[in-house]
Each structure stands twice: as structure tokens, then as C-alpha cells.
Amino acid sequence: MNKAELIDMIAEEAGLSKADADRALKAFTDTVVSAVAKDDTVALPGFGKFSRTQRKAREGRNPRTGEPVHIKASKAVKFSVAADFKKKVNI
């Protein structure tokens, strides 16, 4: 499903115009990005949880040469699926 299809489904399900559904989706994504950037966790019961995690520095290998390569510490976004969601999609 692409963004346009998602907007169409949101509009139909919520009884909104496509423009309103597009604004609602943009507001949702902007809010989640902003909160996670501030190191907050966004939990949606029955759906999942967005959070930021810290990856430690580590040694990796160059796949072409096999030489060891230092990988710097970094931050990443994590999404944990809720149990209800898992159950509904049979994970």
C-alpha cells in the first residue's frame, strides 16, 4: 500500500475528505517524528510503540575484502509491535 492508497482508506474509514485525511496523516507522522527526536516514546495500545535506541560502537567486516571496519555508535528508531497487532496478523 502506498501513501495515496492509505489516505484513501483513512478517508473512507473515518468519513473524511481525502484532503482532511492527508492532513491528519501528516500531523500524525510529524508528531511521532518530533516526539521520537526528543527521545520520547510514542505508544499506541493495540498497535505498537515508537522509540529511539542507542547502538554501541562495534567492529564489522568489509564484505568485499573481509577487513575489519570500525562502526561508530549511532541512534536508531525502533518500532515494537503490540501483542494485539501480532495476534491479528498471525505473527
Q: What is the CATH number of the domain that holds 86?
A: 4.10.520.10
Are 34 and 58 in a shared domain? no
Give the total residue count for the chain: 91
Q: What is the mean pLDDT of residues 3-16?
A: 97
Nearest alpha carbon to residue 82 among 49, 51, 35, 36:
49
Element of type H or E holding 75: strand 74-81
Please state, for a pLDDT cut of 70, what percent of the chain lies above it: 100
The predicted pLDDT at position 1 comes to 95
The predicted pLDDT at position 13 comes to 96
Are 33 and 51 in a shared domain? no
Range of the domain at 65: 41-91
Are 89 and 67 in a shared domain? yes
**Number of structural domains in the chain:** 2
Q: What is the mean pLDDT of residues 10-22?
A: 97
pLDDT tens profile 20-53: 999 999 999 999 999 999 999 999 999 999 999 9
